[in-house]
Amino acid sequence: MRKNKNNEWDKLNAIEKHEAGYLWDKTSSYKSSFEPDVDKAFARFQKATSEQASPAKVRSLSRYTFLRVAAAILFIVGAFGLWQHFNAKPPTEVFATTATPEEILLDDGTFVTLNKNSSLHYPAAFKGGKRVVELEGEGFFTVAKNPQKPFIIKTAKTQVRVLGTVFNVRAYRQEDFVEVAVKEGKVAFGTRNSANHLTLTADERGTYAINANKLIEEKSGLNEWGWKDRQLNFKAARMSEIKTILERFFGVKINLEGTFEGCTLTASFGKVKTIDDVLNGIAAGINVSIRKDSPNKRYTIIGHCQ
Amino acid sequence: MSEDVIKELLKTNPEKGVEALFQEYYAWLCRVVYRIIPDGAVAEDLVQDLFLGLWKRRDNLEIRISLKAYLRRSAVNKSLNYIRDRRLQFEDDSHYENVASKLQGVEAQMAAAEMQQKIDRSIDGLPERCRIVFVLSRFEEMSYQEIADHLDISIKTVENQVSRALKQLRKDLL
């Protein structure tokens, strides 16, 4: 007899061990005779994927697909002053990453890509009038649209409140800022204990400077969610900007030496693996050279621009 | 084909990878869903939908946990969302009898082994809520707490439903 992971059956077994064991084994074949036609199903799958409008093919189910990203018209409901009331039940499950990003599908269909060294606390099932999770580190959220149940992400100091949209949250403990960058839709971003907040829409970024206790709104442009797809895009970027982006992306230190006047870079890097690849690409594109100092994680870009 | 080979294939050759994934797991996932929602067409639709979702995200799909566990959990979540969204609220226990008897007609034609039928019939004969609670506990290795959360019922109810199911099974199968 196979043991169940949870103890519930074991409890029962204590009462009627023999019988329960027998039933456990017997029932293992429940509905095992159901044999779908795999080839037919795969043909259907291929048809659906070959047609661009594939979501329509499964229209009866499309509202269950977690990738059905919300349309952009969203609005913020309720006053931020009421946030204190949102500290309902503590989230129960923890999902943590170490060296590599991982994906997690929440109960409501919300999809989260969790960057490395991050953790997400969430309930097995969202109950009550809102969906609350806690984040430490960085995550890219595709929140399932549900205007009746706002989705709230708490970090140590801030919270982000949305109804259904796509955005990136960066809140690493060792950094002195929390940052929210919006890809689609609209989110409200503020501190946990005050009504102050920013309303951010597509291509906007909000930064909370923890020590200064200040919320700052800017245009996004730091490749905020580039880590998710390992992509970097530069549009007429100045070297100081490139330095910031690469330092964030790879968690390294970069020094700048020489002159960069008049040097800007427009380039896209896909499937980025190492910083060396990117730096070599940059050196091939504009008039700079690269020095890698040992120990690793220390790079110098030397500019020869006039 | 092993899990790791499929994972690798999904990266290097997604077309081939997804086909391997289909061959390996499609039928199994359908059975996982079918145990929860005893409607073959719905089960296949939901699993189809699961694969389409994976396919759309293929470029940035990083599954570090066991592929099988990931797929199974996704399938169970889909099933439970489906039930919830369809408002199968289990208010009326007798409602299920119709589905069960309809189903038995189909199953009978399949000429499965006698005992197999007996087991299926016994479980299918349980009231809807009772059956789903039992399936989640027995097959999906969910704790009573998890089941209670997912179905929005109390732990006490979950306990009652499991012992009710076992009582019936004992009667039918022992």
Q: Which domains does chain B have, with CATH numbers?
A: 1-87 (1.10.1740.10), 90-174 (1.10.10.10)
Judge whether B43 and B26 are in contact, CB under 8 Å. Answer: no
Contact A42 B40 (CB under 8 A): no
Contact A31 B34 (CB under 8 A): yes
pLDDT band at A133 (very low <50, low <70, confident <90, very high): very high
pLDDT computed for residue A206 by the predictor: 92
pLDDT digits (tens, 9 = 90+) for A165-200: 889 999 888 888 899 999 888 888 988 877 788 889
- Residue A92 pLDDT > 80: no
Interface of B with A in 86-105 (CB under 8 A): none
State chain B's mean pLDDT as an integer: 77
Contact B152 A109 (CB under 8 A): no
Judge whether B161 and B134 are in contact, CB under 8 Å. Answer: yes
The neighbour count for residue A273, using CB atoms within 10 Å, is: 9
In a domain, A49, yes or no: no
pLDDT band at B89 (very low <50, low <70, confident <90, very high): very low
Contact A66 B31 (CB under 8 A): no
Q: Does A150 sit behind a cis peptide bond, omega within 30 degrees of 0 on the bond before it?
A: no
- Residues A255, A209 share a domain: no
pLDDT computed for residue A75 by the predictor: 28
Q: Which of A2, A4, A5, A8 to mutate to test the interface with B (most CBs of B within 10 A)?
A: A8
Nearest Cα of chain B lies from the Cα of A38 at a distance, in angstroms, of 7
pLDDT digits (tens, 9 = 90+) for A31-50: 777 888 888 888 888 888 87
pLDDT band at B30 (very low <50, low <70, confident <90, very high): very high
Query: A with B: how many residue pairs have Cβ under 8 Å apart?
Result: 157
CA-to-CA distance for B5 and B123, rounded, in angstroms? 37
Q: What is the mean pLDDT of residues A241-252?
A: 88
Last residue of a domain, one of A219, A245, A268: A219
Last residue of a domain, one of A178, A194, A219: A219
Is residue A142 helix, strand or coil? strand
CA A64 to chain CA mean position, Å: 20
- Residues A210, A96 share a domain: yes
CA-to-CA distance for A140 and A133, rounded, in angstroms? 13
- B166: tokens are 């076992």
pLDDT computed for residue A8 by the predictor: 55
pLDDT computed for residue A80 by the predictor: 31
Burial of A46 (0-12, 13-18, 19+ CB in 10 A): middle
- Across the interface, of B22, B53, B137, the residue whose CB is closest to A67 is B53
End-to-end CA separation in angstroms for chain B: 39
pLDDT digits (tens, 9 = 90+) for B120-171: 888 888 888 899 898 888 888 788 888 888 888 888 999 888 888 888 888 8
pLDDT band at A139 (very low <50, low <70, confident <90, very high): very high
Output the CA angle B27-B29-B33, nearest 5 degrees. 115
Please report, as a single letter, which amino acid is at residue B121: R
Please report, as a single letter, which amino acid is at residue B90: F
- Residues A179, A267 share a domain: no
Contact A27 B61 (CB under 8 A): no
pLDDT band at A140 (very low <50, low <70, confident <90, very high): very high
pLDDT computed for residue B47 by the predictor: 94
pLDDT digits (tens, 9 = 90+) for B32-55: 999 888 888 889 999 999 998 888
- pTM of the predicted model as reported, rounded to 2 decimal places: 0.44
Segment among A16-20, A40-44, A252-256 with least mean pLDDT: A16-20
In a domain, A33, yes or no: no
Question: Which residues of chain B are within 8 Å of residue A111 when distances are taken between CB atoms?
Answer: 57
| Cα pseudo-dihedral A240, A245, A246, A247, rounded to 10 | 90
- B91: tokens are 């208010």
H/E run at residue B64: none
Contact A27 B123 (CB under 8 A): yes
Contact B38 A22 (CB under 8 A): no
CATH code for the domain of A173: 2.60.120.1440
CATH code for the domain of A252: 3.55.50.30
- Residue A63 pLDDT > 70: no
CA-to-CA distance for A124 and A133, rounded, in angstroms? 11
Percent of chain A with pLDDT over 70: 77
Is residue A157 helix, strand or coil? coil
Give chain A's domain count.
Answer: 2
In a domain, A26, yes or no: no
Q: Is B166 on the interface with A (CB under 8 A)?
A: yes
Question: Which residues of chain B are within 8 Å of residue A12 when distances are taken between CB atoms?
Answer: 162-163, 166
pLDDT computed for residue A73 by the predictor: 25
pLDDT digits (tens, 9 = 90+) for A20-36: 677 777 777 787 778 88
**Whole-Å CA distances, A208 to A211, A217, A225, A299:** 9, 9, 18, 28
Last residue of a domain, one of A195, A219, A243: A219
Which residues are within 8 A (CB) of A108 and not within 5 positions of it... i.e. 6 or more apart?
A126, A131, A144, A146, A149, A151
- Across the interface, of A4, A33, A105, the residue whose CB is closest to B77 is A105
- Residue B29 pLDDT > 90: yes
In a domain, A56, yes or no: no
pLDDT computed for residue A153 by the predictor: 92
Which of A228, A149, A217, A148 lies closest to A180, judged by CA?
A217
**Domain containing residue A252:** 230-304
- Residues A266, A188 share a domain: no
In a domain, A262, yes or no: yes
Which of B44, B9, B25 lies closest to A44, judged by CA?
B44
- Residues A260, A174 share a domain: no
